[in-house]
Amino acid sequence: MLGSFDFDVIRRSLPYLFYEGMTFTLTLTALAALGGLIFGTAIALMRLSGYKTLGRIAGLYVDFMRSLPLVLVIFWFYFLVPYIGQWLTGASRPISVGAFASSLITFIMFEAAYFSEIMRAGIQSISRGQPAAASALGLSYAQTMRYVVLPQAFRNMLPVLLTQTIVLFQDTSLVYVLSIPDFLGAASKVAQRDGRLVEMYLFAAVVYFTISCIASFGVRRLQSRIAIIR
């Protein structure tokens, strides 16, 4: 039965799949994780700040983002951002935002909600004596966060942050709704062009599985190493 399959299509499309598709996927994953971490940390600090209004705004944002299907946000954002850009800049026509920029912004916004919850837990895991000791030495609030609290929170939460990044790596495949050739999109294109759906989707699954598995294994090893240091 396997005789009717043509696995050579994979070999022939490898350069396209990896140079174009995987490069896009990994770039999007890395940038979205970085952006999400930065904005997520900012949101976490807003939620933990003494200012109620600021905390409530941040809380609403997180709840809002977590209550929507990611694919819907990607879709909405892609079609909406040009109009928002037009409205903000007062241009006569909708501003064209590339598919990459649009999906990157979407993922950063979406991931910020998740990363903020992780960082919030990380910050709360630091005993209150630490910021007290930093203040007692004369460090300002910003310095206390930057040099004392956040480095520890980040270190404590690194395994969770990386696990979330692996989820993000898989989620980036949703940009296929925008017809962007990420890894899955590229595989899908080849599959439909050559009529080799089973082979290509099987191969895509194997690649996602392998990368995620190796990454998870790496995170677990890191976790046990951190556990020894503490």
Partner 1 sequence: MIEISHVNKWYSPTFQVLTDCTTSVTKGEVVVVCGPSGSGKSTLIKCVNALEPFQSGDISVDGTKVNDPKTNLPKLRSRVGMVFQHFELFPHLKIIDNLCLAQEKVLGRAHDKSVTKGMQLLERVGLKEQAQKFPAQLSGGQQQRVAIARALAMDPIVMLFDEPTSALDPEMVSEVLDVMVDLAREGMTMMVVTHEMGFARKVANRVIFMDRGEIVEDAPKDDFFGKPRSDRAQKFLSKILSH
Q: Which of 50, 69, 98, 138 binds partner 1 (CB under 8 A)?
A: 138
| Residue number with CB closer to partner 1 (149 or 174) | 149
Smallest separation (angstroms) from partner 1 to the CB of 120:
19
Q: How many residues bind partner 1 (CB under 8 A)?
A: 19
Query: How many helices and strands in the chain, by DSSP H and E?
Result: 10, 0
**Interface region with partner 1, contact rule CB under 8 A, candidates 24-32, 75-83, 115-123, 151-159:** 151-159
* Interaction of residue 158 with partner 1, rule CB under 8 A: no
Rounded to the nearest angstrom, the gap between the alpha carbon of residue 41 and the centroid of all alpha carbons in its chain is 14
Burial class (CB in 10 A: 0-12, 13-18, 19+), 119: buried
User: What is the C-alpha to C-alpha distance for residues 83 and 217, in angstroms, rounded to an integer?
Assistant: 43
Give Cβ neighbours of residue 163 (< 8 Å, ≥ 6 apart). Answer: 216, 219
3-class state of residue 195 by DSSP = coil
Contact between 50 and partner 1 per CB under 8 A: no
Q: Which residue has the tokens 């030495």?
A: 137
* Stretch of 12-20, 40-48, 52-60, 143-151 contacting partner 1, by CB under 8 A: 143-151
Q: Residues 95, 139, 158, 162: which binds partner 1 (CB under 8 A)?
A: 139
How many Cα atoms are found within 13 Å in the side-chain-facing hemisphere of 116?
24
Q: Does 137 bind partner 1 (CB under 8 A)?
A: yes
Q: Is the CB of 93 or the CB of 230 nearer to partner 1? A: 230
Sign of CA dihedral 28, 101, 75, 187: negative
Stretch that binds partner 1, among 90-98, 131-139, 199-207, 218-226 (CB under 8 A): 131-139
Radius of gyration (C-alpha) of the chain in whole angstroms: 21
Which C-beta is closer to partner 1: that of 88 or that of 229? Answer: 229
Residues making contact with partner 1 (CB under 8 A) = 127, 129-130, 132-140, 143, 147-148, 151-152, 155, 230
